[in-house]
Amino acid sequence: MKIAVCLKQVPTRDWQPRLDEAKSWIREQDATFEMNEPDAYALEEGLRLKEKHGGEVVVCSLGPSRVAQVLREALARGADRAIHVQLEAAGAASAGNTDAFVVAAALAEAMKSEQFDLVLTGLQSDDQGFGQTGVILAEKLGLPHATIVMDVQVAPPNVRVKRELEGGWFQWVGMPLPAVLTIQSGINQLRYATLKGIMAAKKKEIKAVTPAALAAPKAMIAALYAPEKNKEDAADRRRPRGGRQRARAPASRGSTRYMSHRSSRGHEVHTKATNCFLYSRELVSFVAARAFVRKPF
């Protein structure tokens, strides 16, 4: 069984974000990076399926040269080989210039010739949290897909998955292989790289792929800033929950939190392409994608 796992390298959770001069992305040269946590669960699920059904696990990632770090980490955990879609060679300056559509299109181009039986991705990324890359990738590859997967049962030529719904409900879905699955965090227990795995990873192949041309992004980050803290915000936090209060999103501490559809000034933000407004480690990002703003009642 030939399994692909898509990985993303994201800033570490304990790093204090700093903005670049254009105020549209972080200063990547100052950041420290790690493997996206939902992708780590997808990798673990791929390795378990390989141990049960045989075959190989190929990890794929799009990004600059530093992405080789997470690819080596995945190889040390047990992946067989890696595909690195090079971002600089395609003319993109940073990950801030790409969206889910760009990433999925580039990965699909690099993966089509491999003829994978199963493609796994994390549910969403820790930095932007759109949760769209896996779905768009399935469309680009022309494969069936399922999202928010909590259990995977492979019985070729089909796969049966358990999806997490709202309110504690679950749904079992069957589909033919090949297919694309987006994996929910917590589906399994993560393994760590052993010394033997780290040494073996040095001899495993990382194939560098240069895309012909990156697709035009469907959304762009127009502004990025840290919310201002004032006395009115402090008063809102002390106000009882029973009364009417200004809608706001709590600052996240210790882990990444994402809030959609509400700005720090109580305005609702909507878009046809994606959520326009996110909170990421106390950073606020406006995404320009045919958006409009509606004030609260």
Residue 128 lies in a domain: yes
170/203 same-domain check: yes
Identify whether residues 200 and 70 lie together within a single domain: yes
At 129 the pLDDT is: 84
Residue 95 confidence (pLDDT): 62
- The whole-number pLDDT of residue 252 equals 39
The CATH number of residue 7's host domain is 3.40.50.620
Residues 150 and 252 in one domain: no
Tens of pLDDT along the chain (297 residues)? 999 999 999 988 888 778 888 777 888 888 889 999 999 999 999 999 999 999 999 999 999 889 999 999 999 999 999 999 998 765 555 566 688 899 999 999 999 999 999 999 999 998 888 899 999 999 999 999 999 999 999 999 999 999 999 888 999 999 999 999 999 999 999 998 999 999 999 999 999 998 887 878 887 777 877 767 666 665 665 566 555 444 444 443 333 333 333 333 333 433 333 333 343 434 444 444 433 334 443
In a domain, 201, yes or no: yes
Is residue 27 located within the same domain as residue 109? yes
Do 6 and 130 lie in one domain? The reply is yes
| Residues 32, 151 within the same domain | yes
Same domain, 153 and 194: yes
Per-residue confidence (pLDDT) for residue 144, from 0 to 100: 96
Q: Is 93 within the bounds of a domain?
A: yes
Last residue of one domain, picked from the residues 179, 209, 239: 209
In a domain, 21, yes or no: yes
Position 98 in a domain? yes
User: Are 194 and 113 part of one and the same domain?
Assistant: yes
Q: Which domain holds residue 190?
A: 2-209
**What is the pLDDT at residue 263?**
36
Total domain count, the chain: 2
In angstroms, rounded to a whole number, what is the distance separating the alpha carbons of residues 116 and 264? 44
Question: Is residue 215 in a domain?
Answer: no
96 in a domain, yes or no? yes
pLDDT at 232: 66
Flag whether 214 is in a domain.
Answer: no
DSSP string, the chain: -EEEEE--EEE-TTS---B-TTSSSB-GGG--EEE-HHHHHHHHHHHHHHHHH-SEEEEEEEESGGGHHHHHHHHHHT--EEEEEETGGGT--SGGG--HHHHHHHHHHHHGGG--SEEEEESS-SSS----HHHHHHHHHT--EEEEEEEEEEETTEEEEEEE-GGG-EEEEEEESSEEEEEPTTSSPPP---HHHHHHHTTS-EEEE--S-PPPPS-EEEEEEPPPP-HHHHHHHHS-TTS------PPP-SS-----S--TTS-EEEESSS--EEEETTEEEEEESSEEEE---
The reply to whether 189 and 237 lie within a common domain is no
Are both 240 and 113 inside the same structural domain? no
Judge if 253 and 281 occupy the same domain.
Answer: yes
Give the pTM.
0.76
Domain identity same for 25 and 62: yes
